[in-house]
Structure formats: structure tokens, C-alpha cells
Chains A and B, each alone.
Chain A
Amino acid sequence: MCAMASLSDNLNSPSPTSQIQILNINWFQKQPHGNDEVSLTMNITADLQSLFTWNTKQVFVFVAAEYETPKNSLNQVSLWDAIIPTKEHANFWIQTANKYRFVDQGSNLRGKEFNLTLHWHVMPKTGKMFADKIVMSGYRLPEEYR
């Protein structure tokens, strides 16, 4: 039964959309422990209604900043997440500061170019879980601390 439920989920071809705007860099500092940290406010809009099927219990959505540094080939830092319980809640707009701290391993964030990715994780009532993401590029942090 579990397999059949997942099979019907496979037939669904979702087409989610999203946009993220950075409204403000609230502050940007090097912390006492030596790592850069930035606080920002974002405007997140998304339409994830096409992800929901009869077998969907909830969709977990999160926004992560992704960037590269000399030490790390990949850094993924989750900035915000939410649980979408039903299809009706899946077309949304939210203005928020980052829920989780945007801290680097080191001091590499000045002038840093980064992507913002919107990830979704579909949790079924039973069976296989699906996940995917939309990558939005072209964001850049300030050259100087503020």
C-alpha cells in the first residue's frame, strides 16, 4: 500500500515558483569568535500548491544561503523555514528577518556573492519523501561591515 501511494505521487509533476528579495541588511559584523555574521530581512513569495497530492501530509520549506569560500567548497546556511500543512497555505508571501544565524566559518563574507535557494521537502501520509529546490542567484553582501 505504501508502494502504491508513492507510485501515485510519482505521477504528479509539480511546478512550484518562488521569488526572494533582500529588503535590508540589518547589520554585518565580525563576531568576537572571529566569524562573520550578517542579519538580513527578506521578502519571500512562493506558490507551492502544485506539490500537494492526496498523499501529502505537509510540505517543509526552507530558504538557504549558499556560497563558496577559500576554505569551504560549499556552505549552506538555512535562514528561514516553515511547515505548510495544506494546499491552501501553500501560496504565500512573508517578510521576515533570518530565523537562524547567518554565520560563516571564518571571515569571508565581505562582498560575498551568494545564491538563495528555496528548498521544499514533501512529507507523505505514507511512503517515499520527495525534495527539490529552486536556485536564485545574483545576491551580494556589502563590501564593508555595518
Chain B
Amino acid sequence: MGWIGDTVDSIKSIQIRQLLTQAVSLGMIVTSALIIWKALMCITGSESPVVVVLSGSMEPGFKRGDILFLHMSKDPIRAGEIVVFNVDGREIPIVHRVIKVHERQDTGEVEVLTKGDNNYGDDRLLYAQGQLWLQRHHIMGRAVGFLPYVGWVTIIMTEKPIIKYILIGALGLLVITSKD
């Protein structure tokens, strides 16, 4: 109860200048995070340098909640690589393995078929209506490394947004009430 009294007191005693300073600090933290994210996008050449695994179709290798680090180089796509791709009309990217590659002599363009390690059949059922193959422009990046479990934070915040609001509220409260 004393803590609540202290919090109310400290909110009352804030001067405008202190408030502004702390608002700028918060802004700097958010901007730094954004800069790091954009730099990662630049370095890895991928629109989405980190993705969270959302399904169990690549188990036991990747489990729901794992984080994958992506990299997209100009190297041609080859069988065995784990790629992240978007299907037209679906917003959630899929992380599966390439099992077939056909590369054209003249243009160098590839047609690729993917499959989840833990799925019985290939991904043709997941592709758009009438689509038999993926092309390079569907592919966002290759998975090159991973961290287990860390992605659960993102999954929880997406599926139970109330937790996101609680976290942001708590963070805001912390910044306002800290005296530095």
C-alpha cells in the first residue's frame, strides 16, 4: 500500500522538464531498437531477418516458439536448404525445406518444391490455387541458425494481446517513476 502512495507522490512531483527528458529517453530506446532492426535487415539482405516458428511442421528440428535467423544471398536455391516463403494471399510466412529444384538453362530462374520435415506430403496443397512451384521472389530468406524457446514471447504477445498492453503499461510506469 505504501508503494502505491509513493508512486502517486512521485507522479505528482514530476517537473515538466524531467518528464520531457524521460519521454526523449523512451523515444531514444525505441528508435535504437528500430535502427538495429533495420541494420539487421540490411546486413542479412532479408526483409525479415528473424522469424518465430509458429507450427510443428518441422519438428523435431524446429519447435513452435523457436527463433530462426535468416540470410538471403544471391546464391542459387538448392535442395536441402530451409527457406522461409510467402504464399500469395497468405500473410503468415512458412518455414520448410526445399526438396526439388529445377533451374532453367537460359534464364537461371528456378522452380522449387518445399515440404515440412514433419509433414506427410509436400507443400503443393499450401501454394496458391493452380500453383505447382515456388519461384525465387516468393522466398524471403534461408534459415542459417536458430535459438530455441525465445520466440514464445512473441507468440504470447500476439495470441494474448492483453499481456502486451500490461507490459507496455508497466514499462511506461517504470520510466515515469524512476528518478535518474
Interface residues, chain A, CB within 8 Å of chain B?
A: 2, 6, 57-58, 60, 62, 64, 70-78, 81, 83, 85, 100, 105, 119, 121, 123-129, 131, 133
Contacts and interface: CB of A to CB of B under 8 A. Distances in A.
B134 to A, nearest CB: 14
Contacts of A133: 80
Interface string B41-69: 00000000000000000001110000000
Contacts of B81: 131
Interface of B: 60-62, 78-82, 97, 99-105, 108, 111, 117, 122, 143-148
Q: Looking at chain A's contact residues, is the secondary structure mostly helix, strand, loop, or mixed?
A: strand
A126 B147 contact: yes
20 contacts: A6-B145, A58-B61, A72-B103, A72-B104, A73-B104, A73-B105, A75-B102, A76-B78, A76-B79, A76-B101, A76-B102, A100-B100, A121-B82, A121-B97, A126-B146, A126-B148, A127-B146, A129-B82, A129-B144, A131-B81
B60 A58 contact: yes
Q: Can you list the 7 inter-chain pairs with the closest CB atoms, starting with the nearest?
A: A76-B79, A78-B99, A76-B101, A74-B103, A128-B145, A119-B80, A73-B105
